[in-house]
């Protein structure tokens, strides 16, 4: 009964999430390219913290209803699907014992179309589809603990309906660079001779994964980053700085993540994240608060949360989705994804401080053999005693009466 009630409540919540969702504005879609490029570089920054091993991140947002994330244009609300497909892959080769050469590609395709798709869009009359592709090479020297990476970024506007979207420019020739020395790194992306973003990160938290401490005060040092964004507003400079602070609150399983904008904008978002121990951020729970900064001047707080279970992320009003899914809010967003990194046989989730408890091993379990032994054990009810000897217990003891009747019984029902 309880379970059924829970199910009904869950379905109601889902229905409410779909029914009261707010449409996404066209302005958010035209900003999509900038958002994608910046997020890719942030991700790359996290992966370059190690600069060796490998990393894969692949994901697909799933919004089942065409009324879930409508498009808000000047004519009204259009039924359709907002989508975000992405992958990020980094692999490295060991050149000698201390040098690692890596190659990385990050790809995002996001936008809105009247139908959802995997590879071939419908290209509806009001679609906006754009993609960002970042690639490059990295070099890591473990003796001096340095990483240098550089590459290109291509932002491609695949389709933007002339009927509702303003003209926008894209470019295939952004370039970026990333330099890290121990836990300090500088990252920049450029277009011709002007910068697009410049980021300084101080990754002060001690991380066991990269040879740091596993506990103690050093793990409570903050991770700071400051990013200068170059923005234009009607040909006037509208640059701003975003400060990010990630702080370990308790044993590297509870974190706070705060973003703040200068000179105007102020508080952007705060996220409280819980990562169960031993799972290295592959499983997570987060509660977030974001201040919406709308053109209309509305600066309401948006409260939300998300659950991440290795391959499925379910979020409602989460700050990440607001920032990366065109201001999507008021609806449940499911993302089927996998992000997993590995360094020297240890696995970890993006941005994690400790590896997972699982390690690669060469042992293979022969399932047939295992099942056979298991079933035999079941049959014989074999147990192992304290000395390690197998003990077979028989069930159903027969008591035999030595009387004249000669009947047998295992009931013991005297």
Partner 1 sequence: MKYLRIFLCLVALSLTACMSHVWTDTTTRLQIENKTDVTILGLDIVSEDGTSVQSWIRDAIEPGEKSKVVEEDWVGTFKVRVRFDKWNGETEKRFSLCAILITDPDKKPKKVATNFADLPESEVIEELGYDCEKNGHSDETATYVKLTLDFEGGSQYLVVSEDENGKAVFKFR
Output the CA–CA distances (angstroms, integers) from residue 338 to 86, 119, 269, 298, 333, in the order listed.
Answer: 11, 18, 25, 35, 16
Q: How far is the CB of 402 from partner 1 (least distance, A)?
A: 54
* Strand partners of residue 38: none
Chain centroid, CA 237 distance in Å? 33
Q: Which is nearer to partner 1, 70 or 288 (CB)?
A: 70
Tokens of residue 168, six digits: 């926008």
Question: For residues 386 and 369, what is the distance between their CA atoms, to the nearest angstrom?
Answer: 25
Q: How far is the CB of 122 from partner 1 (least distance, A)?
A: 6
Question: For residues 220 and 247, what is the distance between their CA atoms, to the nearest angstrom?
Answer: 7
Q: Which is nearer to partner 1, 50 or 80 (CB)?
A: 80
Q: Which is nearer to partner 1, 60 or 210 (CB)?
A: 60
For residues 383-401, one letter each, b for 16 or more C-beta atoms within 10 angstroms of the residue's C-beta and e for the rest, the string is eeeeeeeeeeeeeeeeeee
Question: For residues 54 and 103, what is the distance between their CA atoms, to the nearest angstrom?
Answer: 10
Q: How far is the CB of 176 from partner 1 (least distance, A)?
A: 31
Which are the contacts of 248, defined by CB distance < 8 A and separation ≥ 6? 205, 219, 220, 221, 222, 254, 255, 353
Question: For residues 68 and 22, what is the distance between their CA atoms, to the nearest angstrom?
Answer: 8
Q: Note whether 108 and 40 are within 8 A (CB).
A: yes
Q: Which is nearer to partner 1, 78 or 86 (CB)?
A: 78
Positions that interact with partner 1 (CB under 8 A): 60, 62, 64, 66, 70-71, 74-81, 83, 114-118, 122, 124-126, 163, 336
Q: Which is nearer to partner 1, 285 or 334 (CB)?
A: 334
Q: How far is the CB of 307 from partner 1 (least distance, A)?
A: 19
Question: For residues 399 and 376, what is the distance between their CA atoms, to the nearest angstrom?
Answer: 27
Question: For residues 331 and 113, what is the distance between their CA atoms, to the nearest angstrom?
Answer: 18
Q: How far is the CB of 335 from partner 1 (least distance, A)?
A: 12
Q: Which is nearer to partner 1, 126 or 326 (CB)?
A: 126
Output the CA–CA distances (angstroms, integers) from residue 173 to 153, 189, 285, 348, in the order listed.
Answer: 6, 11, 38, 33
Rounded to 5 degrees, what are φ and ψ at 298?
A: -70, 130
Q: Which is nearer to partner 1, 81 or 347 (CB)?
A: 81
Q: How far is the CB of 245 from partner 1 (least distance, A)?
A: 37
Q: Which is nearer to partner 1, 81 or 107 (CB)?
A: 81
Q: Which is nearer to partner 1, 158 or 208 (CB)?
A: 158
Question: For residues 93 and 101, what is the distance between their CA atoms, to the nearest angstrom?
Answer: 5
Q: How far is the CB of 163 from partner 1 (least distance, A)?
A: 7
Q: How far is the CB of 226 from partner 1 (least distance, A)?
A: 38
Q: Are strands 76-78 and 346-348 parallel, antiparallel or unpaired?
A: unpaired
DSSP category for residue 359: B
Q: Which is nearer to partner 1, 18 or 179 (CB)?
A: 18
Rounded to 5 degrees, what are φ and ψ at 328?
A: -65, 130
In the chain the first and final C-alpha atoms are separated, in Å, by 43
Q: How far is the CB of 60 from partner 1 (least distance, A)?
A: 8
Q: Which is nearer to partner 1, 36 or 69 (CB)?
A: 69
Closest CA to 35 of 130, 163, 118: 130
Q: How far is the CB of 71 from partner 1 (least distance, A)?
A: 8
Q: Note whether 303 and 291 are within 8 A (CB).
A: no
Q: How far is the CB of 73 from partner 1 (least distance, A)?
A: 8
């Amino acid at each position: 009964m309880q379970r059924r009630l829970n199910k009904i409540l869950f379905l109601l919540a889902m229905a409410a999430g779909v029914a009261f969702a707010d449409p996404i504005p066209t302005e958010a879609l035209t900003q999509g390219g900038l958002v994608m490029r910046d997020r890719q570089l942030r991700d790359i920054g996290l992966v370059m913290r190690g600069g060796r091993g490998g990393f894969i991140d692949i994901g697909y947002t799933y919004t089942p209803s065409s009324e879930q994330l409508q498009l808000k244009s000047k004519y009204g609300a259009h039924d359709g699907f907002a989508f975000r497909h992405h992958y990020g892959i980094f692999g490295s080769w060991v050149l000698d014992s201390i040098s690692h050469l890596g190659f990385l590609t990050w790809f995002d395709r996001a936008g809105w179309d009247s139908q959802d798709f995997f590879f071939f869009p419908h290209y509806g009359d009001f679609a906006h589809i754009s993609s960002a592709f970042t690639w490059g090479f990295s070099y890591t020297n473990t003796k001096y603990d340095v990483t240098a990476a550089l590459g290109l970024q291509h932002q491609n506007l695949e389709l933007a309906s002339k009927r509702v979207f303003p003209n926008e420019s894209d470019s295939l020739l952004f370039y970026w660079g990333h330099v890290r020395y121990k836990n300090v790194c500088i990252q920049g992306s450029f277009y011709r001779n002007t910068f697009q973003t410049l980021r300084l990160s101080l990754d002060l938290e001690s991380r066991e994964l990269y040879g740091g401490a596993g506990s103690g005060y050093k793990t409570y040092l903050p991770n700071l980053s400051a990013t200068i964004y170059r923005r234009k507003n009607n040909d006037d400079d509208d640059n701003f700085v975003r400060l990010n602070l990630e702080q370990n609150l308790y044993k590297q399983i509870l974190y706070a993540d705060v973003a703040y904008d200068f000179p105007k904008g102020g508080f952007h978002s705060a996220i409280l994240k819980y990562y169960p121990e031993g799972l290295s951020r592959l499983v997570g729970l987060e509660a977030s608060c974001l201040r919406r900064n709308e053109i209309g001047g509305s600066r309401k707080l948006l409260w939300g949360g998300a659950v991440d279970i290795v391959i499925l992320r379910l979020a409602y009003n989460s700050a990440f989705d607001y920032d990366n899914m065109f201001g999507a809010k008021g609806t449940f967003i499911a993302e089927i994804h996998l992000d997993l990194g590995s360094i020297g046989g240890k696995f970890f989730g993006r941005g994690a401080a400790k590896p997972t408890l699982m390690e690669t091993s060469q042992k293979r379990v022969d399932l047939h053999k295992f099942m056979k032994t298991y079933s035999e054990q079941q049959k014989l009810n074999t147990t192992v005693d304290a000395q390690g000897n197998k003990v077979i217990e028989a069930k159903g003891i027969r008591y035999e009466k030595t009387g004249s009747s000669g009947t047998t019984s295992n009931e013991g029902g005297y």
